[in-house]
Amino acid sequence: MSETPTVPARPAAPAEGALPGPDGAPRCPWGLSAEDYLVYHDTEWGRPVHGDDALFERLCLEAFQSGLSWITILRRRESFRAAFAGFEISAVAEFTEADRGRLLADPGIIRNRAKVDATLANARLLADWPEGELDALIWSYAPKSAGPAPRTLADVPAVTDASTALAKELKKRGVRFIGPTTAYALMQACGLVDDHLADCVARGTAGR
């Protein structure tokens, strides 16, 4: 599969550092490229996400992003939530063939057959896991200590040893549509790592 970049958007000058936002406070450049990104950057990206259902949602959305821009997913997130029963694992695990047909006909989401099928298969798989196991597994790959804060987007990695190991373990357990780069995007988005730039106003929001 085609893997996605680890930050939601890349500006034309990836070596650029934090830039002033509408309020004058410095932010990661990608967070200033659209209003949707600004809100997401300031309130969600890099903040800790816990709970099996919440992490299942992020896992699914990162998979749907593969080959697309994150803003395409972000702007359809409420439609995704409506289509997939709020990403409640137990509910999605009960989806029928009729539900699959409904999803593939839904213009509010990404109607990619492989991605839809992977989401349904993953829900059925995860529904059999003990409560809290997905959360514990994903967070077990959070680095025990933070490295140097990136000063520019060029300093932000696309993949790490931890994301490679996480993707390998998820695949080993049967999770579909996950690779090292997508796993790292998940780690960034859910706060396992803090890849806000050193001078970004949102730096320091990641953690357990």
| Residues with a known catalytic role | 40, 62, 70
Q: Is 196 annotated as a binding residue?
A: yes
Q: Is 50 annotated as a binding residue?
A: no
Which residues are CB-contacts of 44 (< 8 A; sequence separation ≥ 6)? 189
Binding-site residues for Zn(2+), in ranges, read 28, 41, 196, 200
